[in-house]
């Protein structure tokens, strides 16, 4: 039985919605929620920080907002 493109996309979405994997896929690099994922994320941050000085204000703002948002979630969760 052939599915239309819309039904195929909906079926794939349902399949992925059921699968709760703590991983972020960035291109072909999969960053998991483990300690190696933290090492890869920090390494990517350092590379972007040194290679693209134009994005430094964005990175600082993103980290600041991430800390604030994380603290709010942590306080609400306690």
Give the pLDDT confidence of 29-64 residue by residue, as tens digits: 666 677 887 888 889 889 999 998 899 999 999 999
> What is the number of domains present in the chain?
1
9, part of any domain: no
Greater confidence, 4 or 47?
A: 47
Mean of pLDDT over the chain? 77
Greater confidence, 67 or 41?
A: 67
40, part of any domain: yes
- Report how far residue 31's alpha carbon sits from residue 39's, in angstroms, rounded to the nearest whole number: 9
- Report how far residue 69's alpha carbon sits from residue 61's, in angstroms, rounded to the nearest whole number: 12
64, part of any domain: yes
pLDDT of residue 56: 92
Greater confidence, 3 or 34?
A: 34
pTM: 0.51
- Report how far residue 23's alpha carbon sits from residue 25's, in angstroms, rounded to the nearest whole number: 6
């Amino acid at each position: 039985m052939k599915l239309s493109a819309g039904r195929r996309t909906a079926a794939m979405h349902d399949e992925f919605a059921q699968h709760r994997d703590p991983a972020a896929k960035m291109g072909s690099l999969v960053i998991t929620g483990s300690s190696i994922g933290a090492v890869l994320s920090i390494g990517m941050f350092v590379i972007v920080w040194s290679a693209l000085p134009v994005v430094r204000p964005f990175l600082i703002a993103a980290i600041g907002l991430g800390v604030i948002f994380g603290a709010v979630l942590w306080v609400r969760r306690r």
